[in-house]
Every structure is written in structure tokens, then in C-alpha cells.
Amino acid sequence: MAQDIPLNERIILALDVENGEQAREVVRKTEAKLGFYKVGLQLFMADWFKTVDWIIDRGHKVMLDLKFFDIPETVKLAVAQIRSHGVSLATIHGNDAIIKAAIPERGDVKLLAVTVLTSFGEDDLRAMGMTQSIEDLVHFRAKRALELGCDGVVCSGMEAQRLRDGLGDRLIMVTPGIRPGANVMDKSDDQTRIMTAQKAIIAGANHVVVGRPITKAADPLAVITGMQDEIEKALG
């Protein structure tokens, strides 16, 4: 399955911008190299499905990253709403009742359960009174999500190898917190569990999510090309 993904869909570009006009500008600048974009809560609140539909109409794929977390009936109705827009991937929280409500309404949308946000570190878990490691928690939640019918998960690259080894190839793994090699040790980063694109793919990720390292770059296409070269090497 992993080998069938086109190179221009391996990187999912996060359109974490203020409005649709800015998002469309980013897409136009990068679509010669990319074919997959993430619309998150910030952009979706700015113009709802307008940018989502525009991206799909241009022949690209969309990951709608709204992390649905509500009472099951509300999540069920929300998933039914996105089904008709041609979204490829959508995120929900990995709660049993939420997953069970969402699965029957997904249609052709692939549902990804959020395991542990990449901004979380071990200290954050300790502060919440949890004694297990992040890796153990991610594995538990991913295994349960797959058992309940989710198509895949969102996890950091640090957990990817264990999930791939333990849960097999049918699990779609999307990995955020991806940085160019020179920036992986940047202490000012708001993400905690970060990794290069090459290492994430080697570990078993199907797609990597990248935002600011591309959108804020002086030459976005050069950054994309560099990351795609890393990914090709990882795929062998």
C-alpha cells in the first residue's frame, strides 16, 4: 500500500493561514510539486468549505483536520456533512463512542483517529496524572481505533515504527511535526515530538504533514524538493 502513494501526495501541506485568499495563494505557489493539502480549524472557521471545495476542484486532495470531539450523535452528523465534499482524510478523536458513531457515516472519507497531539511531551502526561509512556498510550489508542474500524491514525514519527510493526500495513499513518533536518533541534518550536520527513517515512508513515517550514520559506518549492528527495531515499 505504501509504495502506491504518488510522491506529490506524500507531503500534506498544512494551510495554517488566516483566510481563504492566503490559502489559495499558497496552493498556487506549491501545486506544481504537491497534490495534498490540510485544512485545519483556523482556515475552516474563516471560510468553511469554500477553500476545501476550491482545492478539490483543482484536482488535489484534502485532509480536513477538525479533530471532531463531541457527543456521538453530533460527530455522526458532522461526518455526514463532510462526506459530500470529496474530502480524502478527516480527523476525529480516538474515543470509542465517537469512532463508533463516525464510521457508518464516512462514505469514501478515510477517518483518522488522533492519538496524542505532537505538542504533548512526557512531562505533560505526568502533569495529567498518567503514568504510561506516550508511546504506550499512542499504541493503545491506535490499536483500539483500528479494531473499531478507523482507517488510520495521526501520530508522531517517534511512535510510527512500533505502530507499523505491531498493527500492519492497512493502518494509514499521517505524521505531523515534520521539520527539515537543520530545524529538528530548534528549541523554540511549539511541537515537542518532531522528526525529519525521511526518518518518519522510514519508520512507516504514509504521509507527513508540513506547514511553516514550507509556507514561511523564501523558496517553498526548494524546501518541498528537498523533502521529497529525502522521502524517495527513505522508500529506497
User: Could you tell me if 61 and 9 are in contact, meaning their C-beta atoms sit under 8 angstroms apart?
Assistant: yes
Q: Flag residues of the chain having pLDDT under 70.
A: 1-3, 118, 120-122, 124-125, 181-193
pLDDT of residue 145: 94
Instruction: Sketch the domain layout of the chain as residue ranges.
Output: 11-230
pLDDT of residue 185: 42
Helix crossing, 220-235 with 20-30: angle to 10°?
60
Instruction: List, for residues 169-198, the tens digit of each pLDDT value.
Output: 989 999 998 987 644 444 444 455 678 999
- Residue whose grid cell is 495554517: 16
pLDDT of residue 193: 61
Question: Which active-site residues does the annotation give?
Answer: 67
pLDDT of residue 26: 97
CATH architecture of 11-230: Alpha-Beta Barrel (3.20)
pLDDT of residue 91: 97
